[in-house]
Structure 1
Amino acid sequence: MEIEEKLERMEEGKKVGEPELSTEEIFEAKEVPTWGSQLTVRSIFVSGILGFAFTFIVMKLTLTTGIVPSLNVAAGLLGFFLIKSWTYVLSKMGISSKPFTRQENTIIQTCVVAASGIAFSCGYANYALGMTKIVADQGPAIANTVKNVHALHLPWMYGFLFAVSFVGLFSILPLRKIMIIDFKLTYPSGTATAYLINSFHTPKGAKLAKAQLKTLFKWFTGSFIWAFFQWFFTASKGCGFASFPTFGMICPYSITLSMLFGSILSWGLMWPLVAQQKGKWYSSLRKIIHIPTNSLSGLRGYKVFVAIAMILGDGLFHFVVVLSKTLYNMKKKFSDKGVIGTSETVMSYDDQRRTEYFLKDQIPHWVALLGYVLLAGASVVGVPFIFPSLKVYHIMIIYIIAPVLAFCNSYGCRLTDWSLASNYGKLAIFIFGAWVGLNNGGIIAGLAACGVMMSIVSTISDLMQDFKTGYLTLSSPKSMFVSQVIGTFLGVIYSPVVYWYFFYKSYPDLGQPGTPYPAPYGALYRGIALIAVQGISSLPKNCLKLSIGFFALAILLNIIKEVLVHRKSNAHKYVPSAMAMAVPFYLGGYFTIDMCVGSLYRFWMERNNKDEADAFVPAVASGLICGDSLWGMPASILSLANVKPPICMKFLSRAQNAKVDVFLQG
């Protein structure tokens, strides 16, 4: 009731001109639980349930388009709903429960996001899949050797994840105070999540959260039922509604329009023109000499390597820019006498209270150092047993330089809100793939090194985002760290089994273009490793020229955007993203229709009511993604049980339909 009274005072203050109450003044009367009390049995139980569901969602998204939108909002909302439902049911049974606090909500969100984050960093849709024979068969035979192919098996999948997933949590842990309090880094996603959780736990925020949850479940139900309906018409390859505008993901306009532009440029212009050069640029005797239709020596080679060139150009540009900005801002921070270590800085009440609680439960530096050394040592010994082409000294070098790169990535997230972990992973592919060489298993070495690097760099970036959320919700750093460890452990347990039983075993054609789960980044990452160990000799005719041209285009687009941003011109919003353009270059343009439908819905909502759109569009998007993705679980079970859909529905062109009619009449 005290919070409600303060909110009423705040509303009255607006009317009479009194200053508004700050966030921490509103929550001042609420006791902040100790770090141990923030970690409750119910929060870990709920995190375990949501972590499994979100692992499945992220896994499916990485295996289809390779794009994973932020699921922090859904994690926070569903965590709020499940605990509120828990306490409500117990109250009806006459059992009292501890109050549900914003700190406990933060713990759940942190644990769930950490668990689902492993589903991305585990690499089963990119670097690990690139090691397999199904992807190797799509490339040149010279690289499809015993030393350059590594089959997926649960024992080494678990061993590798346990060896590398926890090291990053300790890498720059001692720098959390400098980054959160001294540097006051923004971390937009972490800040937005904190504001969301704070709003949930005020009376007005709770009402909004209930309305958002109602919206989420409504769209979740519709999406799940539609996915179930579609299943009946997918009896064979190419059947069903998969390529039609159904629901679609709701992403920023810039990403959607970039993909649409990339689809038009590639499949509407580029590939038809390249196809006309069949017999000149690449062989037209494919069937006679038994070259696979998906070989990189044909048209698909142009698709793969041009997409790789754009991804590398975009990634290299962002790597250089973010690193430069990081070093410049750090120098400026240290040279500014009023930033660090002065008592002259005037802190607001909220900052004082948040700083007090952030510094209250410290994790000793020796714990971070000892944890990093011990876990890195175990990884140095264990990883070479799994991947013999990587030697002990290779892993040691990665762990020596990784903390520096992890710091740069974590600091860079403050500038772009975009983790560049995959770019550091691609850098590792080039360095260690070329170092080991093709004949010694350089492709596997490069891809495995990518996995080690990505696990470290991405984990600490996510942890710093969560520390920012914890700082703004008065959640203890110690409880946040323990929650991150628990979430990482759950992710390591969940990801291999979800991938193995619900995707890898259910869909034998996983990783091939034109299938329900094409996993586009599997071939792209192996293509990067192929370039690293073999050089330009692996490219079809004129593919190098096209790749250089699109590499330059990616850098040019980024330069134009940076210049417009520097000049504070709104025109930067209309410059396409090279990274987003590259995906349809390889995968195809069919899924961009879904994306555009989602963006049109969002545009319509914003035109009608901007505030309502901001509040409910994320809930709609989360519901659509969760419903469509979670249908994959029963669909996989049906596939494993050899239960097949009864109908095949296809959409044919007029010419194809005429041929079918002639065949049926004959």
Structure 2
Amino acid sequence: MTLGIDGDLEHGGTEVVEAASVEKTFEGQDVPPWQGQVTVRAMVVSLVLSVLFTFIVMKLNLTTGIIPSLNISAGLLGFFFVKTWTKLLAKSGLLMQPFTRQENTVIQTCVVAASGIAFSGGFGSYMFGMSSDIAKQSPEASSAKDVKDPGLGWMIGFLFVVSFLGLFSVVPLRKIMIVDFKLTYPSGTATAHLINSFHTTEGAKLAKKQVRALGKFFSFSFFWGFFQWFFTAGDGCGFASFPTFGLKAYQSQFFFDFSATYVGVGMICPYIINISLLVGGVLSWAVMWPLIANKKGDWFPADLKSSSLHGLQGYKVSIAIAMILGDGLYNFVKVLGRTLFGLYKEFCKKKRDTISDLDSDIPPSVTYDEKRRTEMFQRDRIPSWFSITGYVTIAVISIVTVPQIFHQLKWYYIVVIYIIAPALAFCNAYGCGLTDWSLASTYGKLAIFTIGAWAGASQGGVLAGLAACGVMMNIVSTAADLMQDFKTGYMTLASPRSMFVSQVLGTSMGCVISPCVFWLFYKAFGNLGVPGSAYPAPYALVYRNMSILGVDGFSALPRYCLTLCCVFFFGAIGINLIGDVVGEKCAKFIPVPMAMAIPFYIGSYFAIDMCVGSLILFIWQTVDKANADAFGPAVASGLICGDGIWTLPSSFLALAGVKPPICMKFLSRRENAEVDAFLGS
């Protein structure tokens, strides 16, 4: 996984170059059995890192919904912790088993699986969108049948019964995808190259330096977050409210909020993503919203609440949704087309190979690496009966359990989802192998509209649609993630069984850790999901309004809103089409509609932070490209991890009732004079 924007786009354009022969470097090393790859120390390190990364992902979820790739950080930190562990044991003479690249792969797989639940679990989107806090912002559907507030018990239970189906659905296809079709899975392949390099002499030296750089910037980011906390005693206080470009620009959400997290995210995300965010913010908050606000009393009533879908809020949310759907539909059709075409080519290739095999007994030439990896990959088989039995068993449990959690989601809705889910999981996993794009939440949005419309408004269709989104999204997301991990395991000689077991263990960890971390945020920060707060959870309202539109149609929208939505829907398709037509060289200058849509609702402040991160990386690469490429991801990860982990002590302080001592606010000269006059009186 290289980049997630609301889960729809996970694409980083990773270029993978195979070395002459990687496996000859490790020729003298024994590969432990799969039980020796899933070690106790690997699981302990995975648990610690899973908590760390879940806090990071949860914070990003509840602020903007942009999740950068954490695979490199997981692999690097996993290598560092276990390598340190084994060195200490070796010095004391207690080391029983050396640290292998297969064990490193298990840790990376487990951590990414666990932290991935924080995203696919919908804590910043569909699941939190069910709550009364978000429903208050959409008064059109806020009755009891359309609301379900977060609860630790039901969230853990729901995730456990829906998060494992995707794993069992694609296990029988692992050989076809990895060995027969030789799908690239760029992220999985890049992660494998990274892990392989760690376990060479030169790679270990570089990894040590990278960890040192990560640690420095982790410390800086953590203490910077701690320092900022002292000045946030009230709403709108602190460095995060600094009017960098003036008070007028601040009111239009244009300011630098001094977030180390988003500077780090900007260093990891492609340049075009950050520029697209800024373009979207300028187009919406600097141009469109002021123009539409001037139509108050004409296009929409002047006395509406700011949260009503019949007012300016309706334009903000609906146009953002239109762009997201346009971009998602285009990429869905594109990836599906490439999937079908790829399958057709493979079918024709198999047919030709069968004919040539009849004419000649000479086997096709394979490299030493391919032969070695294929041999190891097929050694520990996972029986098909096991995956089919597992899928059916969990599906039956889910069909019985989920309607008890969501009464609006009838058992026959779930049966229909589970019948078509394996085909969609295959499409997502295959498309991800070809393009590195996971369209998990696109499939989730299809479930929102279809199940929501099927249930209808009178039967709680809004909640049914959101719950169906969660069921579908978890299946197709975990399927693509598992196949990526199989590719990583294939290239590091990790057993398919160890990959599957580590994915199951990581998913199990995530099903407990993610709800607990969200619950801590929910209880510690009372204004979760409120626009303008530290954690506005913008996608929660977007997903809820998608469900409302799916149930009620377009009747809730204000005047000309549907016309504008159509313009931006087809505009998103057109921008994508232009990007594909002009070729790869020019496409890097074409904005990404999905990224443009995010600031339409929440503003551009985080986009400015991310552009600062891009600028830092650009200057660094200009001055010293080799060091920038080697240490850039480590520096960015340190900034993200330090600021992200600061939320743990800050949430404990909030729960304990400890408040910051200072409120630093910025006033205009006129407002300052009024305050002075008031205090003087």
Equivalences for residues 144-155 of structure 1 within 5 A: 144-155=142-153
RMSD: 1.4
1:632 is matched with which residue? 647
Residue 481 of structure 1: how far off its partner (Å)? 0.4
Report the secondary structure of 1:65's partner residue: coil
The answer on whether the counterparts of 1:87 and 1:97 sit within 8 Å (CA) in structure 2 is no
Equivalences for residues 274-423 of structure 1 within 5 A: 274-286=292-304, 291=305, 293-337=306-350, 344-423=363-442
1:581 is matched with which residue? 596
Give the distance between the partners of 1:531 and 1:220, measured in 2 at CA. Answer: 43
1:259 is matched with which residue? 277
Equivalences for residues 179-218 of structure 1 within 5 A: 179-218=177-216
Residue 245 of structure 1: how far off its partner (Å)? 4.9
Equivalences for residues 424-573 of structure 1 within 5 A: 424-501=443-520, 503-565=521-583, 568=584, 570-573=585-588
Give the distance between the partners of 2:406 and 2:557, measured in 1 at CA. Answer: 27
Report the secondary structure of 1:26's partner residue: coil
Equivalences for residues 153-168 of structure 1 within 5 A: 153-168=151-166
Give the distance between the partners of 1:623 and 1:583, measured in 2 at CA. Answer: 25
The one-letter code matched in structure 1 to 2:557 is L
The one-letter code matched in structure 1 to 2:542 is L
Report the secondary structure of 2:373's partner residue: helix
2:236 maps to 1:238: yes
Structure 1 residues 653, 401: closer, same or farther in 2, change over 3 A? Answer: farther
Give the distance between the partners of 2:62 and 2:411, measured in 1 at CA. Answer: 31
The one-letter code matched in structure 2 to 1:88 is K
Residue 113 of structure 1: how far off its partner (Å)? 0.4
Give the distance between the partners of 2:516 and 2:353, measured in 1 at CA. Answer: 47
Give the distance between the partners of 2:589 and 2:679, measured in 1 at CA. Answer: 50
Residue 311 of structure 1: how far off its partner (Å)? 0.4
The answer on whether the counterparts of 1:333 and 1:339 sit within 8 Å (CA) in structure 2 is no
Residue 339 of structure 1: how far off its partner (Å)? 7.7
Residue 158 of structure 1: how far off its partner (Å)? 1.4
Q: Deviations over 1:486-536 (max 9, x none)?
A: 0011001111111112x1001121011100001110000001001000011
Give the distance between the partners of 1:654 and 1:620, measured in 2 at CA. Answer: 40
Structure 1: which 5+ residue stretches go unaligned? 1-19
TM-score by length of 1: 0.94
Report the secondary structure of 1:541's partner residue: coil
Report the secondary structure of 2:515's partner residue: helix
Equivalences for residues 165-180 of structure 1 within 5 A: 165-180=163-178
Q: Deviations over 1:385-444 (max 9, x none)?
A: 111111111000100100111111111112331210000000000000000001110000
Report the secondary structure of 1:297's partner residue: coil
Stretch deviating more after TM superposition (429-438 or 145-154): 145-154
2:626 is matched with which residue? 611
Residue 153 of structure 1: how far off its partner (Å)? 1.1
The one-letter code matched in structure 1 to 2:68 is P
Give the distance between the partners of 2:430 and 2:650, measured in 1 at CA. Answer: 41
1:223 to 209, 221, 229: 221
1:623 to 631, 638, 651: 638
Report the secondary structure of 1:631's partner residue: helix
Structure 1 residues 659, 295: closer, same or farther in 2, change over 3 A? Answer: farther
Give the distance between the partners of 2:363 and 2:590, measured in 1 at CA. Answer: 43
Give the distance between the partners of 1:37 and 1:639, measured in 2 at CA. Answer: 43
Report the secondary structure of 1:68's partner residue: strand
Q: Deviations over 1:7-64 (max 9, x none)?
A: xxxxxxxxxxxxx861101110111111111111100111111111111111111011
Give the distance between the partners of 1:413 and 1:317, measured in 2 at CA. Answer: 15
Q: Deviations over 1:439-496 (max 9, x none)?
A: 1100000000000000100001000000000000000001110010000110011111
Q: Deviations over 1:285-309 (max 9, x none)?
A: 24xxxx3x32222212211111111
Give the distance between the partners of 1:426 and 1:31, measured in 2 at CA. Answer: 47
Residue 345 of structure 1: how far off its partner (Å)? 2.3
Stretch deviating more after TM superposition (621-630 or 194-203): 621-630
Structure 1 residues 23, 66: closer, same or farther in 2, change over 3 A? Answer: same
Give the distance between the partners of 1:26 and 1:135, measured in 2 at CA. Answer: 55
The one-letter code matched in structure 2 to 1:560 is I
Percent of paired sites with the same residue: 60
Q: Deviations over 1:590-617 (max 9, x none)?
A: 1111101100011012112222222111
1:646 is matched with which residue? 661
The one-letter code matched in structure 2 to 1:515 is S
Residue 571 of structure 1: how far off its partner (Å)? 1.1
Give the distance between the partners of 1:345 and 1:499, measured in 2 at CA. Answer: 53
Give the distance between the partners of 1:21 and 1:602, measured in 2 at CA. Answer: 30
Give the distance between the partners of 1:233 and 1:467, measured in 2 at CA. Answer: 47
Give the distance between the partners of 1:411 and 1:645, measured in 2 at CA. Answer: 50
The one-letter code matched in structure 2 to 1:112 is V
The one-letter code matched in structure 2 to 1:335 is C
1:602 to 614, 617, 620: 617
Structure 2: which 5+ residue stretches go unaligned? 1-18, 242-255
Give the distance between the partners of 2:123 and 2:386, measured in 1 at CA. Answer: 31
Give the distance between the partners of 2:211 and 2:376, measured in 1 at CA. Answer: 30
TM-score by length of 2: 0.92
The answer on whether the counterparts of 1:362 and 1:477 sit within 8 Å (CA) in structure 2 is yes
Structure 1 residues 340, 483: closer, same or farther in 2, change over 3 A? Answer: farther
Structure 1 residues 655, 358: closer, same or farther in 2, change over 3 A? Answer: farther
Give the distance between the partners of 2:483 and 2:524, measured in 1 at CA. Answer: 37
